Structure 1
Amino acid sequence: MYAEERRAEILRRARSGGRVDVVGLAETLSVTGETIRRDLTVLERAGVVRRVHGGAIPVERLGFEPALSARNSVMTAEKERIAKAALAELPDEGSVIIDAGSTSERLAEALPVDRELTVVVNSPPLAATLAARPNLTVIMLGGRVRRRTLATVDDGSLHMLEHLYADVAFMGTNGVSLERGFTTPDPAEGAMKRAMIGAARRSVILADHTKVGIDYLARFADLADIDTLITDDALDQELADGFEQAGIRMVLA
């Protein structure tokens, strides 16, 4: 098992069990305690766990929301595969909404250069990057910029979305479960995501498997609101079947 795979497994165990301990992880993963401690240090620096005596706790249990820069450094290979799979959902021409987030950012960077598209974004850095592409027309949703996610929220953004109707909305999520649907820690960002979904004919969620089974404060979509969920192939097949039975088309990248 490579280091990134091991750290992803540690994070999965922390999220499913509420905490992990060094001794138990070392035995289960057949590595030394020192290796586990180094892994936990890497995960803490990435902002996804908080070290405690003898182990670690996932930040969701502490009410924290990892910054975008931290999320960009974990599950990188999986996010790249998800973004590439999402290219198949693009219209031949027309308009798309791309939500702020570490996985959707990779989709934006991979947009084909030979396709004329109008791209609606709520991320100032992403808007600046895409505006340089001659085949893209970029619409930036104004509003307050959340420092943690660099996403625009509040009345300015919501008002603009009332007058738009795109072909596809590509959305990120902090958590998704069969019981609670799609959730995010911040109510203002939840309202923004809900409005983006409402402003598109189809909605596609981009989320690596570590987001599944996690619930946050603000629900922005029920399962019935989403057409497709693109995740990585580490998702448990039983969970994938559950989402399929709920009416969501599943793509495992």
Structure 2
Amino acid sequence: MGNTRSQYILSALRGRGTLTVAELSEQLGVSLVTIRKDVRALAVQNLIVRQHGKISLPISTQQSYLPFNMRSISQIDDKKRIAQVAASMIDRDDTIILDAGTTTLAIATEIRGRPPVNIATNSISIPYTLSDSDHLISVAGGQMLNHSLCTAGSDAEHFFRSIQAEKAFIGLSGVWDNLSLTTGLKAEAAVKGAMIAAARRVIVVAANQKFYHSQMFNFCDADKIDTIITTGPTLPESILEQIERYHIKLIYADAEQPDSMETSD
């Protein structure tokens, strides 16, 4: 969304959970009429829920703030389809980066019995999932973020800056209209940025819903993305425009999706 007030409203909801129209009017210094117009526009896009003078985020958006084990069992089918496509891109002896997230955990599960590769990750869950595999796993140190079951901080960033990988599989919490990838924690954004800098190819893995809202911290611009693996329905028009502009390969992993939109690299 290009509307700055709308972005503020969504960001404020992520911090507070629930807000009133009157609070937003006061915080933004605009009339109630103006705020109600913004709220209606957000509600039409299913980005917020209105009820009795208050607004909140939809349950699907709030899932980004659920504990890791609860998020890992949401949208299981979508994550499995994305993981299957991602796994098909991994070759024997590849050096890959697996971001810490529930979709990349699904990728790890998918490649458990496949030929060995070298994996670099800041995930706590992925090494455990692959403990009985033939893969060589290197784990970034740093401070553990309990909510995401991953490591972060300067140690984790330095780890990824010191390696090179063929492919990085990166998750996200949301995007801006210009296809800048975002997450809700500054510490996570810094590590993700280091992962992206370390990889020859950046492959974004995220279900469709992630492309309809945004978080506060940017960690990757569109020109650094090589491939997006997602699910239907079709992504927002503003996102599709950026995909075409930067010649990003777009793959819909759904078995039911009639066509994958692919632009050549």
Give the gaps of 5 or more residues in structure 2.
1-41, 254-265
Letter in 1 for 2:249: R
State the match for 2:49 in structure 1.
20
After superposition, where does 1:53-64 map in structure 2 within 5 Å? 57-58=57-58
Change (3 A) 1:169 1:216: same
**Contact conserved, 1:59 with 1:65, CA < 8 A, in 2?**
no
Quote how far apart the aligned CAs of 1:118 are.
Answer: 0.6
Does 2:56 match 1:91? no
Contact 1:190 1:220 in 2 (8 A): yes
Which residue of 1 is the match for residue 137 of structure 2? Answer: 138
Structure 1's 88 and 15: CA in aligned 2 closer, same or farther, altered over 3 A?
farther
d(CA) in 2 for partners of 1:179, 1:98: 24
Question: Does the 8 Å contact 2:85/2:229 carry over to 1?
Answer: yes
In structure 2, C-alpha distance between the alignment counterparts of 1:172 and 1:200, rounded to whole Å: 14
State the match for 2:194 in structure 1.
195
Q: Shift of residue 123 of structure 1?
A: 1.2
Tell me whether 1:82 sits opposite 2:111 in the alignment: no
Q: Which residue of 2 aligns with 1:41?
A: none
Where do 1:154-233 residues align within 5 Å? 154-179=153-178, 181-233=180-232
TM-superposed CA distance for 1:79, in Å, is 1.1
Structural mapping, 1:42-61, within 5 Å: 57-58=57-58
| CA distance, structure 1, for counterparts of residue 250 and residue 208 of structure 2 | 12
Contact in 2 for aligned 1:100/1:149 (Cα 8 Å): yes
Secondary structure in structure 2 of the residue aligned to 1:212: helix
Q: Sequence identity of aligned pairs in percent? A: 26
Following superposition, the deviation at residue 239 of structure 1 comes to 5.3
Structure 1 unaligned blocks of 5 or more: 1-12, 23-51
Is the Cα–Cα contact under 8 Å of residues 14 and 58 in structure 1 kept in the other structure?
no
Q: Deviations over 1:109-154 (max 9, x none)?
A: 1015241201111112221221321x21010111111011011000
Instruction: State the secondary structure of the residue aligned to 1:97.
Output: strand
Distance in structure 1 (CA, Å) of the matches to 2:84 and 2:242:
21
Structure 1: distance between partners of 2:148 and 2:80: 19
How has the CA–CA distance of structure 1 residues 164 and 226 changed in structure 2, closer, same or farther, with 3 Å as cutoff?
same
- Could you list the per-position Cα deviations for residues 81-121 of structure 1 after superposition, in whole angstroms to 9, with x for gaps in the alignment? 11111112213322111011111100011015241201111
Q: Is the 8 A contact 1:224 1:246 kept in 2?
A: no
What SS class does the counterpart of residue 158 from structure 2 fall into?
helix
Cα pair distance change 1:216/1:15, threshold 3 Å: farther
Tell me if the contact between 2:178 and 2:239 (Cα under 8 Å) persists in the aligned partners. Answer: no
Residues 32-85 of structure 1: CA deviation (Å, up to 9, x unaligned):
xxxxxxxxxxxxxxxxxxxx88985337988x8332223223222111111111
Could you say what the CA RMSD is over the residues aligned between the two structures, in angstroms? 2.7
TM-score, normalised to structure 1's length?
0.74
1:10 corresponds to: none
| Number of aligned positions between the proteins | 210
Q: Trace 1:147-158 onto structure 2 (pairs within 5 A).
A: 147-158=146-157
Aligned 8 A contact 1:14 1:57 in 2? no
Name the amino acid aligned to 1:72. S
Q: Deviations over 1:173-207 (max 9, x none)?
A: 00123325100000110000000011111110100
